[in-house]
Amino acid sequence: MEVYSQTQENGISKYLKKPRENTLFYRAAVFFTFALYVMPQYFGIPNPIFDLTLVRISIIVLLVFVAFDYTRLRDFLQCFSESKLSLVLLPYVVVLLYTMVIRVDPKAFLNPFIELLEMYLLIYTIKDSIGVNKVVKLLVGFIYLLAILGIVEMFMKRSPFSYLVTINGIYTGRYIRGGHYRIMSSAVHSIGYGMLLVTALPFAGIDVEKGTYNIFRRPILLLLLVVNIFLTGSRSSLGVMFLELLLMIIFSDLKYMRKNILIIISSLTAFAIMVFVLQKTSFGEYVLLQITSLIDTFFDTQLSVKYGADLNQLGQSAAYRELLKEVFHVSWLNPIVGIGRKRAFSTEINGLVVQSIDNFYIAEFVRYAYPGMFSYIFFLVYMGYKMLKDTIVTRSAIIRMVFIGVVSYCLHLYIADSLQTLKYLYVLFAIYICCDKEPYIPPDPGRYFRKRESKYVR
């Protein structure tokens, strides 16, 4: 996306003439980022027509700033008109529109549109006011806050955010499985919080000032996030986490590799000893339950039964995954026009009733049929391809970071619906779109500096 100009004909920034207005807009942008990333969607002002969540209130505030300033309005509209991203999203938006009209379902358009609007607003505020480095630092702070509150929630057995419920019908309450409380933080479900954490995990490795990436850049934050993922009790999030940690190791700067290998070996050894010593305690049993449940999922074993897992439940979960594939063959589903969002999905497949779909891509097929599913997958593939290409060309640490998060999150969508967490994917997209994409140029060592290191050591 092109960087738009903020200068008038005389070359002087218009906003230098209005420092107070510029400061207010910056604060509104930071507030929007905080509300978007941290605050739950059940906190706000209830309305019978359109609930004013804190995020939506912050969106309105930003749009007021934009609407009453010609230069801001022009620049914000350029985010849409001059971006290839808008062309890629156009087929999906068309599907949203005709689904809304045919199914008389305003939410079929409004819900995804608001999420996309949040992404474009974040793109604009990063470029216009906050800056990429600053927004990454802000997000690291927000992630620390969420991770610490996750530990607090473990002891409280209730989300600290639950005290902020002002909009009914969104907060789902405490969730306990197998006698263990599953933390959910500001999300509407523990799996949703796991998906949030999957997008947050790569931030533990970024060093904005040095422009480098190292999985152990923030070991305390990394440990907090890993513990939080375990505490969600989500096998899918746990499985994706292990893959994501591997990607973080692979994409770390090569100069850290030897040290990282030693840390990994030491950490795994210490972890194994700790679990062995504590295996008879509730903590040890919980950790082993999560790990063995994950192994059972992939290898069709029954190791987790020893630690309290329900064998019937495991079998039903595996059968359910196979059953979901038959949704594409349900006769009453229209392959061109989906059912939208206001109508609940329920059908009988092979004698079993299926009401929820724990696969975002299949859920998109139900909501928007093949055109919606394929157009959205095309959008994700396009962004993934661009990120991978720029990762190779620029060697940028920030692009590596967001690429890891995007790949991991999109994989998670295969085993869970989005659960109102797409905004965290769009945060990664916004950072990528705004960050520097200058091609990497190998440094000339010269005559006397043969071992000079590059900015992005690979």
What average pLDDT values come out for the chain (458 residues) when binned by 10 residues?
40 54 92 96 86 93 93 90 90 97 94 95 94 97 97 94 91 80 93 96 96 96 96 92 96 94 92 84 81 79 74 66 87 95 88 86 96 97 96 95 98 94 97 92 62 44
Q: Closest Cα partner for 241 from 286, 204, 189?
A: 204
Phi, psi of 27, rounded to the nearest 5 degrees: -65, -40
Q: Closest Cα partner for 383 from 360, 356, 409?
A: 409
Q: Which residues of 416-455 are buried (b: 16+ CB within 10 A; e: fewer)?
A: bbbbbbbbbbbbbbbbbbbbeeeeeeeeeeeeeeeeeeee
Show the tokens assigned to 109.
């358009």
Q: Which pLDDT does position 444 carry in this prediction? A: 67
Write down the pTM of the prediction: 0.90
Show the tokens assigned to 77.
């509209």
Quick one: DSSP state of residue 454?
P
> CA-based angle 34:227:275, to the nearest 5?
175
Cα–Cα distance measured from residue 233 to residue 230, given in angstroms and rounded to the nearest whole number: 6
Contact 212, 199 (CB under 8 A): no
Show the tokens assigned to 378.
């095309």
Q: Which pLDDT does position 457 carry in this prediction? A: 43
Q: How far, CA to CA in Å, does 219 sit from each of 167, 227, 240, 435?
A: 37, 12, 19, 25
Quick one: DSSP state of residue 16?
G
Spell out where 41-89 has E strands.
44-45, 52-53
Contact 100, 112 (CB under 8 A): no
Count CA within 13 A, CB hemisphere, residue 52: 7
Q: Closest Cα partner for 59 from 38, 20, 81, 31?
A: 31
Spell out where 93-215 has E strands.
176-177, 180-181, 206-207, 212-213
Q: Closest Cα partner for 417 from 360, 370, 457?
A: 360
